Structure 1
Amino acid sequence: MAGTVLGVGAGVFILALLWVLVLLLCVLLSRASGVARFSVIFVFLGALIITSVLVLFPRASEFPAPEAEIEIVDAFFIGRYVLLAFISAVFLGSLFLVLTHHVLEPIYAKPLRSY
């Protein structure tokens, strides 16, 4: 997977950059007055057309070329279970504290009427 960052290619970053710039331009144009305010619609439609062209006409193959046999190894197996045990202990401790707070909530005496 040459040219990938976090498992995605450059096209995803191009689309993200496009939509961030369109959002910024739409916010800036929404503050304008007059006819320039309505150009937000054309900016949005232009970005929509560019996005549809980039998505519908990809340059690379959808499936990578077959390589040697891939062996899947879970390297973070023990760490995942340690994290799960820690989160479970925090959850149970929090639940215990909430329930004790609920059970031990003080009940205040109502004032007596004096005649």
Structure 2
Amino acid sequence: MAGTVLGVGAGVFILALLWVLVLLLGVLLSRASGIARFSVVFVFLTAVIITAVLLFFPRASEFPAPGVEMKIVDTFFIGRYVLLAFLSAVFLGSLFLVLMYHVLEPVCAKPLRSY
């Protein structure tokens, strides 16, 4: 997979950069006064249109070229199971703590009435 960084292509980084710039421009324009303050709406709509165009009209094909053999390899197999084991241990530990505090919650005695 040529042209990928961290398993994603350049399009994801372009979209992320676009929305970071829109966010920064939106914050800057929201501090402005007068009619410039309402231009945030146009900046947002322009970003939505650019995002829609980039998502609906991609340059690359979804399917590999015919005749090219594609081998799918799970390179993060061991890491995924280590993460699953860690998350399971944290879940069971937190469940134990919650149940321990639920079961061992002190019950205060009610005062007796004396007539």
TM over 0.5: yes
In 2, the alpha carbon distance for the partners of 1:55 and 1:27 equals 25
Mean Cα deviation higher: 78-87 or 60-69: 78-87
**What 5-or-longer segments of structure 2 have no aligned partner?**
none
In 2, the alpha carbon distance for the partners of 1:43 and 1:79 equals 41
Q: How large is the RMSD of aligned CA atoms in angstroms?
A: 2.6
Partner amino acid, structure 2, of 1:38? F
Q: Which residue pairs with 1:47 in the alignment?
A: 47
Shift of 1:34: 0.5
Q: 1:79 to 1:3 in 2, by over 3 A?
A: closer
Shift of 1:10: 0.9
In 1, the alpha carbon distance for the partners of 2:83 and 2:55 equals 38
Aligned pairs, how many? 114
Identity rate of aligned residues, in percent? 84
TM-score (norm 1): 0.73
Mean Cα deviation higher: 4-13 or 96-105: 96-105
Shift of 1:91: 3.0
In 2, the alpha carbon distance for the partners of 1:51 and 1:82 equals 36
Q: Which residue pairs with 2:69 in the alignment?
A: 68
Shift of 1:22: 0.8
Shift of 1:102: 1.9
Partner amino acid, structure 1, of 2:69? A
Q: Which residue pairs with 1:17 in the alignment?
A: 17
Which protein shows a greater Rg?
1
* Bigger RCO (CA 8 Å, 6+ sep): 1
Deviations, residues 27-49 of structure 1 (Å, cap 9, x unaligned): 11111110111111221222223
In 2, the alpha carbon distance for the partners of 1:54 and 1:83 equals 34
Q: Which residue pairs with 2:7 in the alignment?
A: 7
In 2, the alpha carbon distance for the partners of 1:4 and 1:91 equals 34
Q: Which residue pairs with 1:106 in the alignment?
A: 106
Mean Cα deviation higher: 47-56 or 23-32: 47-56
